[in-house]
Structure 1
Amino acid sequence: MMRNLSCLVAVLCAVFQLTGCVSNETYRVKEQEAARLGKSLEEQQGEGKKLAARNEQCQGEVQRLSGDLKTVQGERDALATSKKGLEESLRSTADSKNARIAELSQTLGEQQTENKRLKDELVRQQKLKELEVQKTSKTYEDLLDKMKGEISKGEITISELKGKLTVNVVESVLFDSGKAEVKPEGKAVLFKVVDILKTLKDKAIRVEGHTDNVQIGGELVRRYPTNWELSAARAINVTRYLQQNGIDPHLLAAVAFGEYHPVASNDTPEDRAKNRRIEITLVSNE
């Protein structure tokens, strides 16, 4: 473009010279004007180059920002997807927790109901136990009152502990030595016991036979080879007498302990006499 302008100036100068119509001063002014225009053109071209560079820079910045925008949009979409998944996960977890809470609440309610039932049953059992102890104590008091004579003679001892009542009758009152048949005077003692025990319907009556540790000898061995047999026979005969005199047989049991549950040492005649006994025990009817 600069070249074209120079050519134009040269042409004009030639025309002016040829025609002779243009003065030297006019020529000089035109030449200065042409130079000024050329310089202005150069300045404009330089400014254009700067603008082009800046435009290119702006385009690069736009491209970079566009890339950043796409990245941000991608991250935003990823966050939205993640948020949606998190919300669904939280909703699922909340539903699961609520279901578990409902299940535990139901279980707790059932346990509370069962605990109340068990508590009520415990109270009921305690009351029944108290009544049972009271009945046993009443029976104990009645036996003490009715058996005063026998107790004072040492023929009978009566004990009561935690609802368990035991009538301990020494062997000599009930049996002759080496025999299992109840003597008449022994039956008279037992009859007093029967008169009280036959009123009881909620107690089991266990008749226990006990001996000392002296082994059976002589002719008795044929009938009672050991103390087991002797204690069993005596317990059975007492049990049969109780049944014959009004005690419900369903409440009765005969038990033989032989020499193996002594209450004394067996070292003296007096101690061995204590071990030879019949115990009538009242226990819970279960």
Structure 2
Amino acid sequence: MGKNMSLLVVVAAIALAMGGCTVMGSTYTKKVNEADNNARELAALQQKYETLSAENSAVKARVVGLTTDLVKTTGERNKVVTDNKALESENARLKQDLAALRKAQEENVQKVSKTYEDLLVKMKGEIAKGQMTISELKGKLTVNMVDAVLFDSGKAEVKAGGQAILQKIVSILKDVKDKSIRIEGHTDNVPIIGMLAKKYPTNRELSAARALNVTRYLQEQGIDPAHLSAIAYGEYKPVAGNDTPEGKAKNRRIEIILVPKE
């Protein structure tokens, strides 16, 4: 009986030991599996983190690029705005200049027109006789006088009758302060011959002498010499053909021209 009890105790101890080993093995296996799962999840999370980190870097780079583009675009826009304001300012200034120019032109035309009208009234007798014509075009006034009114044939000195006519013109021109007065000498194309050729070898010299004598007379009568100039065209600026006596007579002339000051 005592031997049997001992045997039972041994058997029970062995059974308990074997049962404990089975429980411990099962727990270990479970922990290993959990560790493997955790490792796989960690690897997956690490991979996802690296992917998100790369995407984040790309987004940051894109943001930097867009910011740079925005700064550039803003700068360009500001430049356009500044340039536009400058253009608007320049446009306003040009409009003011244009308005001032138009006003000055209108005033100039009005002054020339008044001088023109005054001369028409003053010289109506000479105009009626065909001794002169007076014309106005685009602010330029021209008094055209045939040479016979001012000079004897072949002469360059202004004769008494011519001086009387010039005095009437001077009475109008003395009040003109904003114009230059140009005296032009013109002739026909008949060559100068004989003794006269020694003094005036060509028509150019004759027209120069006549233009200068008229200029000098106007100055003596009170016209500011700074406003006066003389030009000799001779036969080279005809207003009619030289193949008829009438045409030649028209070409032999003195023109007094009012032009804007330079």
Q: What is the TM-score normalised by the length of structure 1?
A: 0.76
Structure 2 residue aligned with 1:239, among 215, 222, 231? 215
Which residue pairs with 1:228 in the alignment?
Answer: 204
Which SS does the other structure have where 1:179 is aligned?
coil
Q: 1:137 is aligned with what amino acid? A: S
Shift in alpha-carbon separation, 1:68–1:258, aligned structure 2, 3 A: farther
Q: CA deviation at 1:72?
A: 3.2
The residue correspondences of 1:149-164 to structure 2 (distance < 5 A) are 149-164=125-140
What is the rounded CA distance, in whole Å, between the counterparts of 2:41 and 2:191 in structure 1?
Answer: 117
RMSD between aligned residues: 2.2
Q: 2:70 is aligned with what amino acid? A: A
Structure 2 residue aligned with 1:147, among 108, 112, 123? 123
Which residue pairs with 2:110 in the alignment?
Answer: 134
The sequence identity of aligned pairs, in percent, is 55
Which residue pairs with 1:249 in the alignment?
Answer: 225
Superposed CA deviations along residues 232-277 of structure 1, whole A, max 9, x for unmatched, are: 1111110111100010111111011111110001110110010000
How many pairs were matched up? Answer: 234
Q: 2:257 is aligned with what amino acid? A: T
The structure having more radius of gyration, on CA atoms, is 1
Q: What is the TM-score normalised by the length of structure 2?
A: 0.83
Consecutive unaligned residues in structure 1, runs of 5 or more: 1-47
Q: CA deviation at 1:66?
A: 5.8
Consecutive unaligned residues in structure 2, runs of 5 or more: 1-25
Which residue pairs with 2:191 in the alignment?
Answer: 215
Q: 2:225 is aligned with what amino acid? A: P
Q: Runs of 4 or more off by more than 6 Å in structure 1?
A: 61-65
Structure 1 residue aligned with 2:70, among 94, 110, 124? 94
What is the rounded CA distance, in whole Å, between the counterparts of 2:45 and 2:144 in structure 1?
Answer: 106
What is the rounded CA distance, in whole Å, between the counterparts of 1:100 and 1:157 in structure 2?
Answer: 64
Which residue pairs with 2:54 in the alignment?
Answer: 78
What is the rounded CA distance, in whole Å, between the counterparts of 2:92 and 2:120 in structure 1?
Answer: 41
Superposed CA deviations along residues 22-48 of structure 1, whole A, max 9, x for unmatched, are: xxxxxxxxxxxxxxxxxxxxxxxxxx9
The residue correspondences of 1:275-286 to structure 2 (distance < 5 A) are 275-286=251-262
Establish whether residue 266 from structure 1 lines up as the match of residue 218 from structure 2: no
